[in-house]
Structure 1
């Protein structure tokens, strides 16, 4: 029986075709980062805030998607797109990314100030890709497990091929690349009510009603905390969004628990099965992964 997961109407089975490589190898930093739902939640919200700092992206999303009526669903679907790029069979990743690109080709308009934009403008594609990478990586580093500079560079390099499929011309390869891109765009950034409305929705607990609201507030503030200070100042996200020490400890505790709690049937679990590895491979220690990779040499290669 196929285990299909839906993304914007496309169905993905992470367990088949048997043996087909993903764009990231099982022992990649990407497989470590994207399995952690706390890192994805915090990083995803931070990425949205970084994107919405630019009026062109904010207008494009607000006017041409369901974000204003279903921000949680839209964010979750964006997360699934990231999962496909990391864990999905390469053929499925290419199919879905092409579908996303086809939709984006129809998105164009003008900002309230009259500036024209197109979703496929290279500068916008580069920034959207950069915000996602920065958000997920930084959230994992701060709230789950610290990463070395080398590991951060590896993470960005692992995402280059997928970024190219989206039309990105300047994918991040090291942390300094994000800093340089941000420096060029920062003068454009501005505060907007959409940002605070989005954070209010995250704090409300709509994404997971069985989780205490205090934790949702902590996750929202954690997302703000990983924004570069220059961006936070531009967006005027003041001290009301500060993450207090108790909340920071709570978020880190959740991140650590998630890091060691395998989820059967999740994309990383199904991808491991597809590659002939134990379903809980992504949650094993690095030494155990190395041993298993040696035993399953065919699973070491990422898609070309």
Structure 2
């Protein structure tokens, strides 16, 4: 069944469904072409531009991050109380895609405006968990949790599917770069290296739990119909490939069965095989190539790591 998808898709169908289903500018309101020369929050010399350009790793990584986020009772309560995830999980994925795409590639003013918009929304998201613990979406600790799960998953997706080795120094630089978005949203004490992320996960694990609400959100996720050809098959490939990106401790907390782990390994191998087709199909399309042209850089440059730079002081590039 899984091999069927690999043989039946080609470049043009891939391009159409990626840009249609998971556009980083679904409403056409973001101008990735102007002003000329505007590098946005990161610019073409960043690691972030390269890692976020890889569609298979980003979609599988986004699904992995959602799975991890169901383990935090406070973060999960916000989703449970303030979203219609049962009816619009695809919408949530699209909104995440738009936010990540815009804060990565859009000109600075547009990226900062979107961050401000999300901060205002967060101000209305608060309540109590099942056991009466208060939560708020603008809690710096919760913002850090959401950010770290996403950044870790995106990096894991790139490492698994991009056919491009990621040295430790590049991984450290990625974490140091992307934390500026989390900090602009209000996160604090955001890990800035791979070692700091490992320490963060070790420290937070005692506060995580697999609950009935976790199970329900994951049930909805397992049945989501992606707006793409071969919807159920595509979902299974990306969802199980996302499982393969989870840290071992997260898979244990989520109670993944031996069968699920086998499916994850198979899906990851299939997506790895399919990744060059996605790369070829999207080479000249989408916001990555548009943003590269905006700053006068060939899109092909995104396949090479940028030259080393001095490590920035925390928050230095966020202003």
Q: Which segment is superposed worse, 130-139 or 221-230?
A: 221-230
- For the residue of structure 2 that corresponds to 1:120, the secondary structure is coil
What's the offset of the Cα at 1:33? 1.4
Distance 1:5 1:137, change over 3 A: closer
Q: Which runs of 5+ in 2 are unaligned?
A: 1-22, 308-316
Q: Check if 1:268 corresponds to 2:288.
A: yes
List per-residue Cα deviations over 1:42-85 (Å, max 9, x = no partner): 11011111111111111101211232320111112112111111
Cα deviation 1:194-230 (Å, max 9, x = unaligned) = 5455555555461133036344213212212221221
Whether the 8 Å CA contact 2:240–2:268 is kept in 1: the answer is: no
Find the aligned partners of 1:211 and 1:36 in 2 and give their Cα distance.
21
Contact 1:14 1:274 (8 Å CA) reproduced: yes
**Match of residue 218 from structure 1:** 237
Q: Does 1:150 align with 2:143?
A: no
Using the TM superposition, give the Cα deviation of residue 234 of structure 1 relative to its aligned residue in structure 2, in angstroms: 1.5
Separation (CA, whole Å) in 2 of partners of 1:183 and 1:24: 29
1:56-95 aligned within 5 A: 56-95=74-113
Number of residue pairs the alignment of both structures matches: 286
Partner of 2:278: 258
Q: TM-score, normalising length from structure 1?
A: 0.84
TM-score (ref. length: structure 2): 0.81
Q: Per-residue deviation at 1:261?
A: 3.6
Matches within 5 A, 1:32-181: 32-145=50-163, 146-181=165-200
Asked if the contact 1:6/1:12 (under 8 Å) is kept, the reply is yes
1:175-208 Cα shifts (integer Å, max 9, x gaps): 1222222122212222235545555555546113
> What secondary structure, in the 3-state scheme, does the structure 2 residue paired with 1:113 have?
coil
Q: Distance in 1 between matches of 2:301 and 2:41?
A: 15
- Cα RMSD for the two superposed structures: 2.6
Q: Distance in 1 between matches of 2:222 and 2:301?
A: 30
